[in-house]
Amino acid sequence: MAYPPIERTGRTVVEFFAGIGLMRMGLERAGWSVVLANDIDPAKEEMYAHQFPDATLHFKLGDIHDLDPQEIPTVSLATASFPCTDLSLAGAREGLDGKNSSAFWGFINIIRGMRERRPPLILLENVTGFLSSNDGDDFEKAMLALNGLGYTVDPFIVDAAHFVPQSRKRLFVVAIDKSLAGPTMVSERFFQSALRPPALAAFVFEHPEIDWALRELPNLPVCRASLEMVLDELPNNSPEWYARERVIPFGIKRSSKGGGLG
C-alpha cells in the first residue's frame, strides 16, 4: 500500500542507506523527523532498532533497487549515505558500477520515480574517494544525474576532527530543487575554501557543464577535546576487553593492561 501524501513544509526526512541511524542522530538535533528509513542489512536494522524504539513503525528492510517510489512518503529531505566500498581508496575502486556503490543509481531511480513528489532537498554523504573515483568520471556522472532530475548541487568536505579528536573526512553534496535555489557564486576565488579544498575546487572549476549552486559556508569549530579526554579507563577484568580465546588465535598482542589490543 502506498503511503498517504504528507505536507513537506516541515522538516521531514527519508533516510536511505540508514545503517544504524547516524544520519538520523544528527538531523534530529536540528529538528528534523525521519518518517522512513531503509537499509538492506538485517544486522543494521537490529542495531537501528536498539537506538530508536519507533523503528518498527518506519524501518523498511530491503534492497533499494526493489523499493517502489510510489510507496516513499512525500518529504522535504532525502538522505543517501550510499555504500563507499567501490569508491574508497582502500577498496576495489570499481566506482559507481561496482557491486555495492552502484546502489547510488537505485537511489536516483527512486527520486526519478517520485516525479512531482520528489523532495526539494537531497543530501549525499560518502568518502572523499568519491571525488577521484574513475578519474572523476563517477562524481561527474552523479552530479549530472542530479541536475537531470531538476537539482542544483553544492559539494563540500567536512573533517570530523573539527568536532571530535579523530580525523575522518567525508564528502557531502546538498542538492536543491532548481526552482528554490538562490544565486550561484561563480568566481574562481570562491571555489576554494576550508570546506572546498584544492581538489574539489579544481573539479568545480573544470566542470562548468554541471549546474552548481555554491554557497558561502560558515567556518567550522576548532575541536578542543583530546583523545585522552574521551577514552574510558577500563579495569583489567572489564568484559569490554577482548577475551583471551578471541585474541590468541589471531596472533594479536595483548596489551599491558590485560586483555586489550597491543
pLDDT score of 149: 97
Does 234 or 78 have the greater pLDDT score? Answer: 78
pLDDT band at 189 (very low <50, low <70, confident <90, very high): low
Residues of the chain with CATH 3.40.50.150: 12-221
Q: What is the pLDDT of residues 232-261, one digit of tens each?
A: 888 888 888 877 777 665 554 444 343 333
Q: What is the pLDDT of residues 90-107, one digit of tens each?
A: 767 788 988 899 999 999
Rounded to an integer, the average pLDDT of 168-179 is: 93
Q: What is the mean pLDDT of the chain?
A: 85
167, 100 in Cβ contact below 8 A? Answer: no
Q: Which CATH class name applies to 12-221?
A: alpha beta
> Cell numbers at residue 169, please?
573526512
Antiparallel, parallel or unpaired: β 77-80 and 33-39: unpaired
175, 124 in Cβ contact below 8 A? Answer: yes
Contacts (Cβ under 8 Å, ≥6 apart) of 224: none
| Res 203 pLDDT > 70 | yes
pLDDT score of 18: 96
Tell me the C-alpha distance between 121 and 142, whole Å: 16
Q: What is the pLDDT of residues 45-74, one digit of tens each?
A: 999 999 999 999 999 999 999 999 999 999
